[in-house]
Structures are given as C-alpha cells and as structure tokens.
Amino acid sequence: MPTIEKMGFLSKEIELYIEKHRKENAPWFGLSEECNQLGQEVLYAIEISRGDLQRMLVALWFSRALTHFQAIVVLTERGMLYEAQIILRTLIEVLFSLVSLAKNHEMGQEFLKDDKVQQLKMLNTYRNLPKNLKEITEEQKSHLDDLVENLKCEICKNKYKELKTTEIAHKAGMSDFYNTIYAILCSTVHARIRDLESQLLLDSDQEVKQLNWGPDTSGLDNVLLAANESLLISIDQVNALFDLNFGERLALLHSKFKQIGDKT
C-alpha cells in the first residue's frame, strides 16, 4: 500500500486515518451525517418555478451550501483542515446570500444588479489580457466593445453597485458571523504568513525542526461546529420559505448541535 509519505492524501493509507479520525470525533461526524441527511431530504422537497426569483435563487444557493458542507466533511475526515477551512469560508458566503434573500424578497433584484457589475468586470479583465493570450477577430472585438459600453451605460444610468460580502451579511442579520468566523478564515484562504506559521514545528529555541505536514485534526471540532451551524441555518430558512414540514427534526438537530457544541 502506497504510504502517506509517498502519495500524500492520495494514498490508500488515508482510509486508515479516516477511520481513526471518525472514531476520535464520533459526536461531530455523527451530527454531520444527520444534518446532511436532512439537507438532502429538504433539497428534494423543494418545488420552484422559474418566475419566482427569490425561491429559485434560494434553492440554488441551498444546493451549493449542501455540497460545500459535504466537501468539508470529506476533507475533515481525512485530516485536511486547511482545505476544509477554505471551503468553510465559501459555505459561509453562500449562507449570507441565502439568508439575506430568504429574509428580504427585494434582495433578488439587488443580486441581479450586482450580476451586471460582475459581467462588466469579467469583460474588462478579458479585454486587458495580453494579445498572446486571446484570439479575437475584429468583428468579435467590436461586439465585445459594444457589450462593454452597453453594460457601462446600463450600470451608470440605473446606479447599479457591486454587492460586498459585508453588506450581504448585514442584510442577512449576520454581521457577527462575518466579523468572527468569516474574518478569521480569510487568513487561511489567502495564505497569510501568520496562518502559515502553524505549519512549522519549532524546537525549544524556536528554531525550525521540520514542516508540520500530513493528516491533522487539531481544530476539527471548530470547523465542523461552524459547518453544521451554517447548514442548519440554511435548512431553517429553506424550511420556512418553502413552507416545508421539517420543523420537529430541525429542532432535534439544533438541540443535538447545542449539546455537542457546549462540550467543544
């Protein structure tokens, strides 16, 4: 069997670590599986129509939140904590959008306006590529220029603006979530120096002995705490918006979450 040292996290040996990590953190993985199962049932209970922008976007964001959650579980059971934290930050961004729209119907139009701004940014990015990285005919260039100008006019005329994550979190009533969990995760996502320091093993004289690399579960409970909380909040919003009947099971999971969380 190829070892971790030879193949890293792609080694078959990782299956032994998965078993070990799940056994050592059974309460959190047990709760994660229950939350995930309910999330899947909620996903397939959703009914939407194309004409209902609020419900359609909330359903799409919920689908994304659920798969992000599952990715976090897959990464944490392997001891890939840094990677799990990166996905966790993305899950929380999805959560802000989902909750803000579920609570405020008018946010749907704000997201559509933001999309126009994002389109313009992408088109300008493409236009600024070096010539050797883009192949474009004069006709295509002319069409692209027209698209850019039309978008600029529409954005300027209607005073569209980019939606910042902090604003979306505020609309969701989750500014505290933004200023704590989300803000802390930014360091990991951007690989800041202070975050990288944790990957060094130091001796008593603070000299570097070696890189701290490999399966790691230190802090796993905090990652799964935030991930489960995010999924439960998402399910709460979807259950209410779509008038589903998962209230009792949600209450039980919230109770389990609190019991496990209080011991963390």
- For the chain, the domains span 4-105+175-262
How far apart, in whole angstroms, are the C-alpha atoms of residue 41 and residue 138? 51
The mean pLDDT of the chain is: 91
Place of tokens 């990285």: 133
Q: What phi, psi does 110 have (nearest 5°)?
A: -65, -40
Higher-pLDDT residue of 214 and 144 is 144
Arithmetic mean of pLDDT, 178-183: 94
Closest CA relative to residue 67, chosen from 182, 236, 227, 252: 227
Q: Report which secondary-structure segment, H or E, holds 123.
A: helix 107-127
**How do strand 200-202 and strand 208-211 relate by DSSP bridges?**
antiparallel
Over 90: is that where the pLDDT of 188 sits? no
Over 60: is that where the pLDDT of 193 sits? no
Over 80: is that where the pLDDT of 198 sits? no
Closest CA relative to residue 43, chosen from 17, 25, 64, 71: 64
Cβ proximity of 205 and 226 under 8 Å: no
Q: What percent of the chain has pLDDT over 90?
A: 75
**What is the pLDDT at residue 24?**
96
